Amino acid sequence: MPDIFLPSTLPLVPLPPPQLLYPHLQATLQIPSSHLAVLLNAIAENATRHKLDSSRIIAIVPVVEIERRVGRWATAARIKSVTKVASPPDTFNIILEGIARIRLPRSLPPVLSILPPLPLPISTYSLPVSDLHILENVDLVPLATALLPPQLHEKINLIPPTLLADLLVSVLQIDWDVRAELLGVPDVQERCAKVYTILSKLVSDRGLAPATTTKPLLTSTPATIPRSRALIRRPLGPPTMGLPEDLQPLDSLFQRRLNEISSSAGQAITRELKRLSKIPPQSAEYGVGKTYIEWLLSLPWKKVTETPHDLDLAKARSILDDEHEGLEKVKRRVVEYLAVYQLKRKLFEEETAAKLQEKKTTKTTHQAVQNAAFDASTAGELLELIPKDERKALEETQTPMDDILTKDVYRDKGPILLLVGPPGVGKTSIARSLATSLGRKFHRISLGGVRDEAEIRGHRRTYIGALPGLLVQGLRKVGVANPVILLDTAESAVGTSNFHGDPSAALLEALDPAQNWSFHDHYLGDVPIDLSQCMFIATANTLDTISPPLLDRCETITCSGYVTSEKLAIAKRFLLPKQVKENGLLAVGVQMGDGVIEKVITEFTFEAGVRSLEREISRICRTKAVEYSTARQSTHSPYNPEVTSNDVDTILGVAHFDPDVREETHRPGVVTGLAWQASGTGGIMLIETTLVPGGNGQLVLTGSLGGVISESAQLGLTWVKSHSASLGILLGDTDPYKSHDIHLHLPAGSVKKDGPSAGIGMVLAIASLLTGRVVPSTTAVTGEITLRGAVTPVGGIKEKVLGAHRAGIRKIILPKKNLREVMADLPESVKDEMDFVFVGTIEEALEEVWGKDIWTDTSRPRLEAKL
Ligand SMILES: Nc1ncnc2c1ncn2[C@@H]1O[C@H](COP(=O)(O)OP(=O)(O)OP(=O)(O)O)[C@@H](O)[C@H]1O
């Protein structure tokens, strides 16, 4: 039960008819901006006088024709919100919520306008708990039932009788004078008796009969208060009566879980149980309804994993270290994230504690008015009985009931971590370790192939076999409201709306801290679910296709591919021991030397991550498991845990064909470019050109090329053509463009290729073809070109370079503007082994490959490669 504290002086504000403010109800006061300024000054003065940070409490005095005060009673009220109205101009609506009746001093001047803070003899005219018993004599419920529409009947039972009298006279359009008089009746019994007389008259005037009550009234002794309070919290009263037998188990489960579910879920279950009790159990609808109730009962509305208040960052780091090799930057960033999370949470908890403390101290300096019959859980119900026009204005500032109940829980509003990198580099497993460090449950949702909004937001219950969306399903699976949820392959939830809706929009709503405390899943209908306590982490292979609004919510951490030495370390420390264990060889083990593992890495796997490597190691372990089983059965051949290089060949067979190994031969017209696949893996890509006799300088393109890459080829040819003279291509009377077409092909025709980064490679290939000079196959190039010959930066450079390194390339020509990325992000071992040449123009690139004398050297045969 919250206590309300009133300062001993309050500014006074006149409230003309027809409005009248009772404790716990709302009223809207419309005032011009000049009056608002006076009011705010008076409030500030009062706050300073009482050394309060803010006191939005004022006294609302009912007045008639502005000069005549009615009686000696007013209402202490809290300002809930101030909003500017569209018309009349310069006018504000102030929404007030009554706190308690206050008696005004005899000497008070007429309240003609807003008055500065004046001392008021404040008494506790709200109800002490022990006074409740007096109400049993004057039961207003039957009268209220007769007078109010049926949909409100059940709610009347939930309203404490002490409030009912005020509430009824407010909603039943009783004369203002009568209402003002009732404000001056602080004694509850007297007030209820008066209201009883008024309502009885109204009932008989309208020719209605008072209903007989079944109302569980609040009972007399303080000892029974908690039970009564539970009753108040209960959404719609027990529906058990008259339920069919097969609904009884559900109902009793409902009763047991009453305190664990949100009030809106409780209301929905009550409604559904009632509805089901009226329809035949054989109908399909009956089954649908039962499943719906089961879902509502099984969700973790309020249950959370308790997380330690002091997160041990060193321990978190050691969990990350224990489960992952390398990934230094990623680990550091994850620990930073945890540190910030912990700090924010601590700060929040300290603030909450300080507020509580402040309340306690204010109690000693200010008179406390006990608000016996009002608590947050009745607020929502009450609201519905408040006149509509007032309610509308109030709703904007309303916090939902469930939110009030759990408002002291910390909800992280920070960005979502997005781990980006090629497959198999440990993104998922880092997220899992983060959940372990936080002591939270972990749930992974794969967004791959999610094209339908219903997969995120659920299907409406009208569909047969309808289910909630992936998020709600996930919550039920983990059984707590605060898990770490990993949204895997987030790039797949593309931001395209189609006739199935827009999954990324639904996802955004779920991730938005401003909305996700009341996420609406279609299956759950009008029952909102709180996702704000979940911690979301996303992973993606590439940022290219991720929806921009989603990306905007995220903070990106890049996990790049591994080089051989890193893979070796991962294999030795994690993959091999894991596979040995999984294949039942823990007792005898499998020994693989560094050279052997390296052979598996370089000859049998061609990937940025370590997934295939793990698969190959698993194959080796399986073979060793067969050997071990055979050895156990025969005494002749003992088991040998050692795996040699030859064993690898025997077990894994012929080394895999790898398109990503550099060419051994050097040929004019062939250049090695760099590619970056949608999976996030980098590699090399050959650019082949040849001259086709009988043409006229046209460009023929093949190899599944997209629009952008085709334009790059055209651009490359144009550049070479325009520099033909200086490159020595047009010599004497031979003009290759008049007698030949140029065919440019990118092998692996089944793979779609696009992007601008092959531009410089195309220029080199065409120039090489026409000048007859070769580009060494150990050299790779990447960079976009412009028509004027500038080389501009490209994306995915780190993965491309790592892919080139794997393929055996030792020199890379790349755009100057990518220099910082290369220097900052690449492992030292790669930087040591490779030669990087940064160029700003095409000329620089050509000179780098063929030397400065390319512009004058015309001695070489010009055409070497012909069909
Ligand atoms: N640095 C590492 N240390 C230890 N194990 C690792 C490391 N990187 C990857 N692994 C292991 O590789 C396997 C694949 O990792 P994981 O599933 O996390 O990859 P991912 O990056 O999420 O891939 P995808 O993008 O395909 O989902 C896991 O078994 C993981 O433990």
Residue nearest to atom 6 of ligand 1 (CA): 426
**Which pairs from 67-72 meet CB under 8 Å and 24+ separation?**
67/110, 67/112, 68/110, 69/104, 69/108, 69/110, 69/111, 70/177, 70/180, 70/181, 70/183, 70/184, 71/180, 71/181, 71/183, 71/184, 72/103, 72/104, 72/106, 72/184
How confident is the model over 509-535, as a mean pLDDT?
85
How confident is the model over 666-690, as a mean pLDDT?
81
Distance of CA 295 to the CA centre of its chain: 22
**Could you tell me if 269 and 293 are in contact, meaning their C-beta atoms sit under 8 angstroms apart?**
yes
Question: What phi, psi does 250 have (nearest 5°)?
Answer: -65, -40
Give me the percent of the chain exceeding a pLDDT of 70: 79
- Which pLDDT belongs to residue 224? 34
- Non-local (6+) Cβ contacts of 353 within 8 A are none
Nearest in space to 501 (alpha carbons), one of 456, 546, 445, 552: 456
Local structure of residue 65 (DSSP, 8 states): T
Q: Verify whether ligand 1 is closer than 6 Å to residue 81 (CB atom).
A: no
Nearest in space to 159 (alpha carbons), one of 375, 399, 397, 402: 375
Q: Verify whether ligand 1 is closer than 6 Å to residue 571 (CB atom).
A: no
- Which pLDDT belongs to residue 715? 92
Query: In 740-782, which ranges are E strands?
Result: 740-745, 779-781
CA distance 553 to 536: 11
CA 785–ligand 1 middle distance (angstroms): 36
- Which pLDDT belongs to residue 162? 66
Local structure of residue 600 (DSSP, 8 states): I
Residue nearest to atom 25 of ligand 1 (CA): 423
Helical ranges in 588-634 per DSSP H:
594-599, 611-633
Task: Establish whether 11 is an annotated binding residue.
Answer: no
**Could you tell me if 655 and 607 are in contact, meaning their C-beta atoms sit under 8 angstroms apart?**
no
CA separation, residue 453 to residues 459, 520, 548 (Å) = 9, 12, 17
CA 424–ligand 1 middle distance (angstroms): 4
CA 425–ligand 1 middle distance (angstroms): 5
Q: Give the confidence band of 752 by pLDDT, cuts at 50, 70, 90.
A: confident
CA 324–ligand 1 middle distance (angstroms): 9
Which atom of ligand 1 is found nearest the CA of 323? 4
Q: Give the confidence band of 206 by pLDDT, cuts at 50, 70, 90.
A: confident
Task: Establish whether 426 is an annotated binding residue.
Answer: yes
- Which pLDDT belongs to residue 648? 87
pLDDT at 129 over 60: no
Is the bond preceding residue 280 a cis peptide, omega within 30 degrees?
Answer: no
Q: Verify whether ligand 1 is closer than 6 Å to residue 680 (CB atom).
A: no
CA 610–ligand 1 middle distance (angstroms): 7
| DSSP codes joined into one string, 297-315 | HHS-SS------SS--HHH
To the nearest 5 percent, what fractions of the chain are helix, strand and coil? 45, 20, 40
Task: Establish whether 421 is an annotated binding residue.
Answer: yes
Structure token pair of residue 760: 């410089």
Task: Establish whether 428 is an annotated binding residue.
Answer: yes
- Indicate the pairing of strand 699-702 with strand 670-676: unpaired
Q: Verify whether ligand 1 is closer than 6 Å to residue 423 (CB atom).
A: yes
Structure token pair of residue 494: 């593309």
Q: Verify whether ligand 1 is closer than 6 Å to residue 426 (CB atom).
A: yes
**b/e map 286-319, b = 16+ CB within 10 Å:** bebbbebbebbbebbbbeebeeeeebeeeebbeb
Nearest in space to 784 (alpha carbons), one of 729, 845, 703, 704: 845
Which one of 757, 768, 777, 798 is the catalytic residue? Answer: 757
Using only C-alpha atoms, the chain has a radius of gyration, in whole angstroms, of: 39
Task: Establish whether 424 is an annotated binding residue.
Answer: yes
CA 818–ligand 1 middle distance (angstroms): 28
Using H for helix, E for strand and C for coil, what is the string for 774-799? ECCCCEEECCEECCCCEEECCCCHHH
CA distance 43 to 51: 12
Residue 800 annotated to the active site: yes
Residue nearest to atom 3 of ligand 1 (CA): 324
Which atom of ligand 1 is found nearest the CA of 432? 18
How confident is the model over 162-174, as a mean pLDDT?
78
- Which pLDDT belongs to residue 394? 39
CA distance 331 to 343: 18
- Which pLDDT belongs to residue 570? 92
No. of helices (H) and no. of strands (E), the chain = 33, 25
Minimum mean pLDDT range among 67-81, 243-257, 547-561: 67-81
* Between residues 294 and 141, the one the model is more confident about: 294
CA distance 412 to 856: 66
- Non-local (6+) Cβ contacts of 501 within 8 A are 452, 453, 454, 457
Minimum mean pLDDT range among 515-529, 564-578, 643-657: 643-657
CA distance 612 to 230: 58
pLDDT at 297 over 60: yes
Half-sphere exposure of 550 (CA within 13 A, CB side): 28
Query: CA angle, 771 as apex, 762 and 736 as ends, to 5°?
Result: 90
- Which pLDDT belongs to residue 680? 59
The CB density around residue 131, as the number of other CB atoms within 10 Å, is 16
- Indicate the pairing of strand 554-558 with strand 416-420: parallel
Q: Give the confidence band of 820 by pLDDT, cuts at 50, 70, 90.
A: confident
Distance of CA 433 to the CA centre of its chain: 19
How confident is the model over 197-202, as a mean pLDDT?
83
- Which pLDDT belongs to residue 383? 46
Is the bond preceding residue 226 a cis peptide, omega within 30 degrees?
Answer: no
Structure token pair of residue 700: 């023929």
Nearest in space to 295 (alpha carbons), one of 250, 356, 345, 360: 250
- Please give the domain boundaries of the chain with CATH numbers for all domains: 3-119 (2.30.130.40), 245-298 (no CATH), 301-367+411-559 (3.40.50.300), 564-652 (1.10.8.60), 670-855 (3.30.230.10)
| DSSP codes joined into one string, 68-116 | EE-TTEEEEEEEEEEEE-SSSTTEEEEEEEEEEEEEPPTTPPP--S-EE
CA 428–ligand 1 middle distance (angstroms): 6
Residue type at position 755 = G
ipTM of the complex: 0.97
**Could you tell me if 376 and 405 are in contact, meaning their C-beta atoms sit under 8 angstroms apart?**
yes
Q: Verify whether ligand 1 is closer than 6 Å to residue 488 (CB atom).
A: yes
Which atom of ligand 1 is found nearest the CA of 559? 21
pLDDT at 399 over 70: no
Q: Verify whether ligand 1 is closer than 6 Å to residue 266 (CB atom).
A: no
Task: Establish whether 415 is an annotated binding residue.
Answer: no
Minimum mean pLDDT range among 3-7, 43-47, 172-176, 501-505: 3-7
- Which pLDDT belongs to residue 42? 82
**Could you tell me if 189 and 134 are in contact, meaning their C-beta atoms sit under 8 angstroms apart?**
yes
pLDDT at 140 over 60: yes
- Which pLDDT belongs to residue 838? 93
pLDDT tens digit sequence for 839-866 = 999 999 999 988 888 875 544 444 443 3
pLDDT tens digit sequence for 489-510 = 887 765 555 556 677 788 888 8
Helical ranges in 261-327 per DSSP H:
263-276, 284-298, 313-323
pLDDT tens digit sequence for 61-85 = 887 765 555 567 888 888 888 888 7
**b/e map 753-765, b = 16+ CB within 10 Å:** bebbbbbbbbbbb
pLDDT at 420 over 80: yes
pLDDT at 123 over 60: no
Q: Give the confidence band of 588 by pLDDT, cuts at 50, 70, 90.
A: confident
CA distance 679 to 608: 10
How confident is the model over 408-417, as a mean pLDDT?
72
Residue nearest to atom 5 of ligand 1 (CA): 324
Residue nearest to atom 16 of ligand 1 (CA): 426
pLDDT at 396 over 50: no
Q: Verify whether ligand 1 is closer than 6 Å to residue 487 (CB atom).
A: no
Q: Give the confidence band of 234 by pLDDT, cuts at 50, 70, 90.
A: very low
Q: Please give the torsion angle defined by the CA atoms of residues 291, 293, 297 and 302, in that order, rounded to the nearest 10 degrees.
A: 120
Q: Verify whether ligand 1 is closer than 6 Å to residue 327 (CB atom).
A: yes
CA distance 583 to 621: 7
pLDDT tens digit sequence for 180-198 = 888 888 777 788 888 888 8
Q: Give the confidence band of 242 by pLDDT, cuts at 50, 70, 90.
A: low
- Which pLDDT belongs to residue 395? 41
* Between residues 736 and 95, the one the model is more confident about: 95
CA distance 131 to 110: 34
**Could you tell me if 127 and 116 are in contact, meaning their C-beta atoms sit under 8 angstroms apart?**
no
- Non-local (6+) Cβ contacts of 548 within 8 A are 495
Q: Tokens 């309808």, residue? A: 466
CA distance 371 to 810: 79
pLDDT tens digit sequence for 336-368 = 888 888 888 888 878 877 877 776 665 544 443
The CB density around residue 324, as the number of other CB atoms within 10 Å, is 19
- Which pLDDT belongs to residue 840? 92
Pocket test for ligand 1, best of 328, 574, 799 (most atoms within 8 A of CB): 574
CA distance 724 to 767: 9
Q: Verify whether ligand 1 is closer than 6 Å to residue 428 (CB atom).
A: yes
CA separation, residue 120 to residues 108, 128, 242, 367 (Å) = 9, 21, 55, 11
CA distance 344 to 336: 12
Average pLDDT, the chain: 77
How confident is the model over 269-273, as a mean pLDDT?
88
- Which pLDDT belongs to residue 368? 38
CA 509–ligand 1 middle distance (angstroms): 29
Residue 344 annotated to the active site: no
* Between residues 698 and 4, the one the model is more confident about: 698
pLDDT at 173 over 80: no
Nearest in space to 825 (alpha carbons), one of 456, 559, 441: 559
pLDDT at 168 over 90: no
The CB density around residue 356, as the number of other CB atoms within 10 Å, is 10
Give me the percent of the chain exceeding a pLDDT of 90: 13
